[in-house]
Each structure stands twice: as structure tokens, then as C-alpha cells.
């Protein structure tokens, strides 16, 4: 078998130099999507690989130990305590029950950390799996999917801690909490789409993984993490452009809906849910297109 590029194969064909020998022509790289039905079927068939990889990753970081899981909770708890001091105590806010104000920050921070972990872990999933990518043939989307599984495993202990704080603060638990399921799905879809985008970007721009933590930290202050949507509208009522920036943020409708259910015990605003769902679809479609259309080039770039 003789392997030639496109130009050499045409010359050889005209000269009759490779008669009777099969010629494989490799065209120059062009971004295009793989057959989606086949690709998704292969991802579904190998989903246990992604789960096992996530399990092994967390085990390697000692997250499965008691102290490892405690650190997953202690880190955002300490950060929430710092923000509570700055936003509530130093700002002179008055709360009859300090835990009520603390749960506002805790709810937003835990929800934000879920999205942040998915994006940050996914951003290094391709560049960190170089040997696997170069030596194995498999759908590369399994690597960001593994990061999604890892982030969920890191997320559920924080939900237990928040549930304790929620009950200790005397907040209500009602039928509106059923809305948490679709909100969580929307947030997961949005976060996974962003993870696919940054996983592919890191292959082309290696500084992505270094700059991303700073961008994610700034994202906290532009999202309803330290305060609810209602509080943000009151505080920014006289600043139209800043309120507009706040509302354009994709996490505004997602975390805002989450906080309306948990903190206000009511169904989220329909506009917020539609807005969040639209962002989730745009993120998934855009991120998946960018990732899948360039997947064939990952081994070469790495």
C-alpha cells in the first residue's frame, strides 16, 4: 500500500507509477462534523469509560476520602464566610437571623462552583490526555464528559451541607423545590457546552487554562452569587448599563432561577427559565460544533 498526498497521487496516477497498488489520499485538514448519529451512539456505548475515568481522577486527588470530601465543602464554606463578612457585616446590613443572609451567599456560591468546576476541568481534559488521544481511537467528547461526571461528584456533598444550613436558617421547603430538577438540567447543559468550547480552545491556545481561573473569578461578581436577582435590581436600579451587563450574563437567569426557588420558595420567573434555556442551547450547540469539527486535529496539535 502506498500513501500519498493529493497532489502526489494525481501525478502518480497520470504517470502510471503505482498501477495495481491501492492509493490512500489524505486531503488537507478541513473542519467538519463527524456523522452525529454514529458519534453519539459511540459516546453512549462508552459512557461507563467516562464515569470510571472521573472516578479514578477523584480517587487520585483523594476526594473519595473523608478529609477529601470535607475539603470540597470547607473551601467554598470559608469563601462564603469571607463574602458574608464583606457583603453583610462590613456593609452594615441588618439581619434578624444572620444565617438567612449566609444562605443567600452559600446557595449562589455552591451553584456557581458547579459550573466553574465543569468548565475548569474540561479546559484541561484534552491537553491533559495527550498520550491517550494519540494512541487510542475513541470519541474525544468522552474526556469533557468525564470532567462533567467529576464535577457532579464534587457537587453533591455541597448540596448536603447547604440543606443543613437551609434548615438551620428556618427557610421553607415547599412544592416549588420540584423546579430545581429542570433548573439543574439547564445549568448542566450550559456548563457542558462551555466545557466543550474551552476544551477545544485550550488545544489551540495553551494559555487558556492559565487565564481561565481569573476570568471565572471575575464571573462571580457579575452573577447573582452574592445577592439575589431582586436585590441586584434594587441596588443597580440607577445604573442602567451595569444592570444590562448583569442581565446579559448567562448565569443571571440560571442561578437567579435557582435562588428564587431555594431562597424565596416560589416557582422561577418564566422569563428567566426561557432565557436560561436559550443560553443552554446556544452553549451546547456552539460548544459541540467547535469541539467536534476540530476533533480530528487534536492529535496533531497536541
List of residues 6+ apart from 295 with CB closer than 8 A: 34, 139, 140, 141, 200
Residue-wise DSSP of 193-229? HHHHHHHHHHHH-TTHHHHHHHHHHHHHHTTTTSS-H
> Same domain, yes or no, for 10 and 49?
no
pLDDT at 144: 95
> Same domain, yes or no, for 96 and 115?
yes
Instruction: Look up the domain containing 217 and give its range.
Output: 32-301
> Same domain, yes or no, for 261 and 199?
yes
> Same domain, yes or no, for 22 and 106?
no
Buried b (16+ CB within 10 A) or exposed e, 163-194: eebbeebebeeeebeebeeebbebbbbbbbbb
Structural domain count of the chain: 2
> Same domain, yes or no, for 5 and 67?
no
> What are φ and ψ of residue 107, in 5° steps?
-60, -50
Global model pTM greater than 0.75: yes
One digit per residue, the tens of pLDDT, for the chain of length 302 reads: 444 444 444 444 444 444 555 655 545 455 578 888 899 999 998 889 899 888 887 776 656 565 666 777 777 778 888 888 877 766 555 556 677 878 888 888 999 999 999 999 999 999 888 778 887 888 899 999 999 999 998 898 888 888 988 898 888 888 999 999 999 999 999 999 999 999 999 999 888 888 898 999 899 888 888 888 877 777 777 777 878 888 899 999 999 999 999 988 899 999 999 999 999 999 999 999 999 998 888 877 77
Amino acid at each position: 500500500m502506498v500513501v500519498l498526498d493529493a497532489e502526489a497521487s494525481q501525478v502518480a496516477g497520470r504517470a502510471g507509477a503505482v498501477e495495481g497498488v491501492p492509493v490512500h489520499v489524505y486531503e488537507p485538514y478541513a473542519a467538519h462534523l463527524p456523522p452525529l448519529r454514529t458519534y453519539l451512539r459511540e459516546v453512549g456505548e462508552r459512557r461507563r469509560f467516562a464515569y470510571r475515568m472521573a472516578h479514578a481522577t477523584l480517587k487520585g486527588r483523594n476526594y473519595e476520602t473523608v478529609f477529601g470530601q470535607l475539603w470540597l465543602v470547607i473551601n467554598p464554606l470559608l469563601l462564603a464566610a469571607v463574602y458574608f463578612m464583606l457583603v453583610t457585616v462590613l456593609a452594615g446590613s441588618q439581619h434578624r437571623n444572620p444565617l438567612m443572609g449566609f444562605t443567600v451567599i452559600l446557595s449562589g456560591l455552591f451553584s456557581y462552583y458547579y459550573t466553574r468546576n465543569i468548565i475548569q476541568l474540561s479546559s484541561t481534559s484534552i491537553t491533559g490526555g495527550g498520550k491517550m488521544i494519540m494512541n487510542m481511537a475513541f470519541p474525544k467528547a468522552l474526556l469533557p464528559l468525564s470532567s462533567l461526571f467529576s464535577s457532579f461528584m464534587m457537587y453533591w456533598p455541597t448540596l448536603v451541607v447547604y440543606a443543613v444550613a437551609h434548615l438551620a436558617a428556618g427557610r421553607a421547603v415547599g412544592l416549588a423545590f420540584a423546579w430545581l430538577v429542570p433548573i439543574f438540567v439547564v445549568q448542566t447543559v450550559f456548563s457542558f457546552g462551555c466545557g466543550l468550547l474551552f476544551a477545544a480552545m485550550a488545544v489551540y491556545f495553551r494559555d487558556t487554562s492559565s487565564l481561565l481561573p481569573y476570568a471565572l473569578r471575575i464571573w462571580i461578581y457579575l452573577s447573582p452569587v452574592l445577592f439575589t436577582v431582586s436585590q441586584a435590581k434594587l441596588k443597580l436600579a440607577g445604573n442602567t448599563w451595569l444592570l444590562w451587563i448583569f442581565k446579559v450574563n448567562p448565569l443571571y437567569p440560571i442561578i437567579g432561577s435557582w435562588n428564587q426557588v431555594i431562597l424565596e420558595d416560589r416557582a422561577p420567573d418564566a422569563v428567566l427559565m426561557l432565557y436560561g434555556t436559550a443560553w443552554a442551547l446556544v452553549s451546547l450547540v456552539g460548544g459541540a460544533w467547535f469541539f467536534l469539527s476540530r476533533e480530528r486535529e487534536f492529535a496533531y496539535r497536541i
